[in-house]
Amino acid sequence: MTPGSRYPAHEDLVAPGRSRSQLWRLLLGLGVIAMVSYGLQIVTFLVLLGFTSVEWLLVMERGRTPIAMLILLATFGFLPLGVGLAARLLHNRSFFSLIGAPGLTVQQFIRTCLGGTAVFAVIMVLPPYDFGAPLVANLHWLTWLGLLPLSLLAVLVQVSAEELVFRGYLQQALAARFSHPVIWLGLPSALFGAAHYMPQEAGDNAWLLCLWAMGFGLLMADLTARAGTLGPAIAVHFVNNIVALLILGSPSSLFGLALYLLPYEMSDVAALRPWLWVDCATMLVLWLVARLAIRR
């Protein structure tokens, strides 16, 4: 058995990039993605600055109001533009070839979303019913419901963009060059974890949250390789972020669209670390449920 033979479906994603799999193309492609996304973000911020103030832009960066959070999540939509440009110019492959067969992608996305929603529904009705202290109300429920369609769309844009970069472009380009899964599963996951390093908000918990994100990335990479599409990874990421951004937000940042706030900051070592074990267990259950959802 070859190292990658346990992931036959992954070849459907990787094959279009094998003819142009040189490392310089990957590195240049990452540069293209960064330049396009950050360039368009800067343009967006400059345009907003004409209507607002520097102080409001700082509020937006932390996602502390609904409109700020919606704009912040929407700017993730610039990443797919860079991904599509890099894929076409440097690897001679289409944007949609990074995602997978459309019908199968949608089917796997829906089935995994339903399974993930069921997991969180069960968690919500099981004890304990608080986090050591009462939840803090953030948005009025009528406001929250009114914003929900836009909020769901914004979260879907954000998670889809991240999956396209890490499990789409980066993972597939590495797999086209290197046969061993340790490289093309591990490296994108490590970079995904590093991208979630937030010492200002998380303090002494920053490295633990970084490791958590790395583990999450590894499981999403495995799902993508097993499924042959980005559908399941986007679905798990989507359901997870609905809970984390729209239902139970952190008071540290990115809480503008949340119905409730957790009763502790991300930097609170004593309060957060026990719940990280719960998050790890939940992550594993979501991964297992997704694997059941994609069985053919």
Q: Is 2 left (phi over 0), alpha (psi -120 to 50) or beta?
A: beta
Residue 5 pLDDT: 60
Sort strands 136-137 and 260-261 into parallel, antiparallel or unpaired. Answer: antiparallel
- Tell me the C-alpha to C-alpha distance, in Å, between residue 190 and each of 19, 131, 135, 270: 26, 29, 32, 26
pLDDT at 2: 45
57-76: per-residue pLDDT in tens? 776 777 889 999 999 999 99
Write out pLDDT tens, residues 127-159.
Answer: 776 777 888 999 999 999 999 999 999 999 999
CA 59 to chain centre: 22
Q: In b/e form, how buried is each residue of 54-88, taking b as 16+ CB within 10 angstroms? A: eebeebbebbbebebbbbbbebbebbbebbbbbbe
Ranges of residues in the chain whose predicted pLDDT is under 70? 1-5, 59, 129, 296
- pTM value is 0.94
pLDDT tens for each residue of 261-295: 998 888 888 888 888 898 999 999 999 999 999 98
Q: Are strands 248-249 and 260-261 parallel, antiparallel or unpaired?
A: parallel
How many residues are recorded in the chain?
296
Other beta carbons less than 10 A from residue 26's beta carbon: 22
pLDDT at 53: 79
Question: Cis peptide before 128, with omega less than 30 degrees from 0?
Answer: yes
What is the Cβ-side half-sphere exposure of residue 224, based on CA atoms within 13 angstroms? 32
